[in-house]
Structure 1
Amino acid sequence: MRSPVLPRLAVALALLLPLPLAAAPAASQQAAAATSPRQVIDTLDQALLDVMKNADSLGFQGRYQKLAPVLDQVFNLPLMARISVGPDWASLKPDQQQKIVDVFRRFSITTYAARFAGYNGEKFESAAATSVTGGDQVVATKLVMANGGAVALNYRLRANGPSWQIIDVYLNGTISQLANYRSDFGATLRSGGGDGLVKMIESKIVELTPKK
């Protein structure tokens, strides 16, 4: 079975990714009521370990199918799409906004399914949640390699009704996923509009999807 290495997983986590913008897919409504921020992260970590351990037997499509309902549950993907676009979001038509939400969701799931494609004794370690401004919570996590190396992560979560969902990921504890996206997406949106942004994200999905 293929073994992920530290740089590969770092890229995966950097690529991955606050008020719902549209109705989330049905699976995202299955989040348990009053789930704590730490439990949300544990749910994600367990799902990632499962697909890593069974990566070859599942294949890309199997990993995608297993991860999709979990990511819908633990991430507020519509909100993350909106924040990734930034202030220009308000200038988009409702149908364009929905297309961006949809393609952003598929991009996020594809990224995880493509990158978490092997296992070599890795494990996740998470700390207790801490409160930050605005009522959000942050859970610090490390993906620890068998050789002792580690990828440090901070997950920022926000209450969404009775549940908590991830709204940003900070690689190495400080690098915001959404800030990276905003820089990338903003330039494309200004030059190509909403349709151009959808095409750009679609191209990223194609690049990540294994060729048969």
Structure 2
Amino acid sequence: MRALTRIFVILAGVLVLPVAQPALAETPKALVESLGDKAIRQLTGTVARPEREARFQNLLTAGFDIHAIGRFTLGRYWNQANPAQQAEYLKLFEKFIVQAYAARFAEYSGEQFRVVGERPDGEVTIVQSEVFKPGNPPARVEWRVRHGGQPKIVDVVVEGISMAVTQRSEFAAVISRGGGNVDSLLTALRQKTGS
């Protein structure tokens, strides 16, 4: 499971880095190919944690549809939350993602990334890629890129496991343990992010 988490982290970063340059958003496939190359160079190595988080924050905002992903991960509780809870949740969700994933880029240890294809699927294009380390079989990774306007990433699926669905399950469990109250998740996110 730790290996799967590392792949999620690496791929999330691969996805966000170059989006800040509008010329890269020509096609979903070209976008993901470019992201793979730049993410490895900009988020790994001896980058200090505050700088890594700042870089990740900027690129996450530019490359991902945070509102859509955040709303999806809150699931049915989104409609139960009042506007103030929704706004706080989205801020905490973004901060949680930045802190959790940026920190893990320090664990990167030479994995390689390549795009192997793409296919349309309704309102998204699924960009197929592989992440591999010499001596190990490649991991299949699919990037769900919403098209129409500027492409935005809405999910990453590693070996058939969706990051968004996984996060949704984890958040639902926290809310359930808190008696079905969204405030229980907000409290947990505040604690995790130091907010």
Q: Which residue of 1 aligns with 2:22?
A: 32
Structure 2: which amino acid aligns with 1:164?
P
CA, structure 1 residues 12+202, in 2 after alignment: closer, same or farther (shift >3 Å)? farther
Counterpart selection for 1:168 from 142, 149, 155: 155
Give the TM-score, by structure 2 length.
0.80
CA distance in structure 2 between the partners assigned to 1:89 and 1:204 by the alignment: 20
Report the RMSD for the aligned CA atoms in angstroms: 2.6
2:63 paired with 1:77: no
The alpha carbon displacement at 1:138 in A equals 0.4
- Conserved? CA contact 1:155–1:168, under 8 Å: yes
| Secondary structure of residue in 1 paired with 2:22 | coil
Counterpart selection for 2:125 from 127, 134, 137: 137
Greater relative contact order (Cα < 8 A, sep 6+): 1
CA distance in structure 1 between the partners assigned to 2:31 and 2:56 by the alignment: 14
Poorly superposed stretches of 4+, deviation over 6 Å: none
CA-to-aligned-CA distance 1:78-131 (integer Å, 9 cap, x gap): 110100111221111111111111111112222221111155432211123211
The correspondence of residues 1-212 of structure 1 with structure 2, limited to 5 A, is 8-14=2-8, 30=20, 32=22, 35-53=26-44, 55-56=45-46, 58-132=47-121, 134-159=122-147, 162-172=149-159, 174-190=160-176, 191=179, 193-205=181-193
* Number of residue-to-residue matches in the alignment: 184
Unaligned runs of 5+ in 2: 13-18
The alpha carbon displacement at 1:52 in A equals 4.9
> Percent of aligned positions with the same letter in both sequences?
24
Give the TM-score, by structure 1 length.
0.74
CA, structure 1 residues 45+175, in 2 after alignment: closer, same or farther (shift >3 Å)? same
Unaligned runs of 5+ in 1: 1-6, 18-28, 207-212
